[in-house]
């Protein structure tokens, strides 16, 4: 597990980003590994869809772990897991649970779904990142922490200083022990260049796998690419086309 976590962390190279296809079950994970990808991420939205639950912590942490165990049982590559805002669990429980099913990374966001979807303060979110890092250190595995902010997708506050606030928020998370930073949204090139140049850690970008140019992210300084729910949606579109022939 230590080596697997180190492998995942080493893949994050600004300008030569780690591409972590976002999967939701053993089948999709095997599909991605067979295509040649060296690491994966399990996304909360597609995983929830795959078990008939809503995104936003509509499933329990134990339900998520059961699905993660199926993925890690099917493929032998590092896996990061989107744990949303933590499912109301302690940082120690989050780390112990993920390690128990073979995951070596996590994505933690600052929207607290179980508290009316409030946004954690920058200091509160950084403190949570720090507690996750301490829990991972205690477990002896450098779990790769991808600290996410929802400022952009929530359109929080004044747009004029939103990038400034996101940079300040994520810089605190970096200082607390994060390994990568995720200002989740679809950003224009100028915004992404500013984020990657001013943030102190590799930046995660979200990509549309059926539309974006894979070569476009490296020049922007991106260090990690994931697909969120968009790989599942693209495959769903193809399935709808196939099924429509038989109606």
Q: Assess contact for 213 and 185: CB atoms under 8 A.
A: no
pLDDT by residue, tens only, the chain of 247 residues? 999 999 999 999 999 999 999 999 999 999 999 999 999 999 999 999 999 999 999 999 999 999 999 999 999 999 999 999 999 999 999 999 999 999 999 999 999 999 999 999 999 999 999 999 999 999 999 999 999 999 999 999 999 999 999 999 999 999 999 999 999 999 999 999 999 999 999 999 999 999 999 999 999 999 999 999 999 999 999 999 999 999 9
CATH entry 3.20.20.60 includes domain 2-244? yes
Q: Assess contact for 105 and 78: CB atoms under 8 A.
A: yes
Q: Which pLDDT belongs to residue 60?
A: 96
Distance CA 221, CA 117 (A): 31
Token pair recorded at residue 138: 């205690």
3-class SS at 35? coil
Q: Which pLDDT belongs to residue 165?
A: 98
Q: Which pLDDT belongs to residue 200?
A: 98
Q: Which pLDDT belongs to residue 75?
A: 98
Distance CA 36, CA 49 (A): 25
Q: Assess contact for 176 and 133: CB atoms under 8 A.
A: yes
- Stated pTM of the model: 0.96
Delimit the domains of the chain by residue range: 2-244
Distance CA 209, CA 37 (A): 14
Distance CA 180, CA 203 (A): 6
Token pair recorded at residue 243: 């099924």
Distance CA 63, CA 48 (A): 9
Q: How many CA atoms lie less than 13 Å away from 207 in the CB half-sphere?
A: 24
Q: Which pLDDT belongs to residue 232?
A: 97
Distance CA 29, CA 159 (A): 37
> In whole angstroms, how far apart are CA 224 and each of 5, 90, 158?
15, 27, 27
**Helix H or strand E encompassing 110:** none
Distance CA 99, CA 113 (A): 23
Distance CA 241, CA 247 (A): 10
3-class SS at 183? strand
Q: Which residue has the tokens 């990657």?
A: 196
């Amino acid at each position: 597990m230590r080596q697997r976590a180190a492998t995942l962390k080493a893949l994050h190279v600004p300008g030569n980003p780690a591409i972590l296809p976002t999967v939701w079950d053993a089948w999709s994970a095997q599909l991605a590994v067979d295509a040649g990808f060296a690491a994966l991420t399990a996304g909360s939205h597609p995983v929830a869809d795959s078990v008939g639950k809503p995104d936003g912590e509509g499933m329990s942490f134990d339900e998520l772990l059961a699905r993660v165990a199926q993925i890690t049982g099917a493929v032998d590559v590092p896996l990061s897991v989107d744990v949303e805002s933590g499912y109301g669990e302690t940082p120690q429980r989050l780390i112990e649970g993920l390690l128990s099913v073979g995951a070596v990374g996590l994505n933690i966001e600052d929207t607290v779904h179980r508290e009316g979807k409030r946004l954690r303060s920058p200091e509160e979110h950084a403190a949570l990142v720090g507690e996750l890092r301490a829990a991972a250190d205690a477990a002896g595995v450098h779990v790769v922490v991808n600290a996410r902010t929802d400022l952009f997708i929530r359109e929080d506050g004044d747009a004029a200083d939103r990038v400034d606030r996101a940079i300040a928020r994520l810089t605190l998370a970096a200082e607390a022990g994060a390994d990568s930073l995720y200002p989740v949204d679809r950003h224009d090139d100028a915004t992404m260049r500013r984020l990657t140049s001013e943030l102190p850690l590799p930046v995660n970008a979200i990509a549309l796998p059926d539309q974006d140019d894979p070569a476009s992210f490296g020049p922007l300084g991106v260090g990690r690419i994931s697909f969120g729910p968009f790989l599942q949606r693209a495959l769903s579109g193809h399935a709808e086309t196939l099924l429509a022939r038989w109606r």
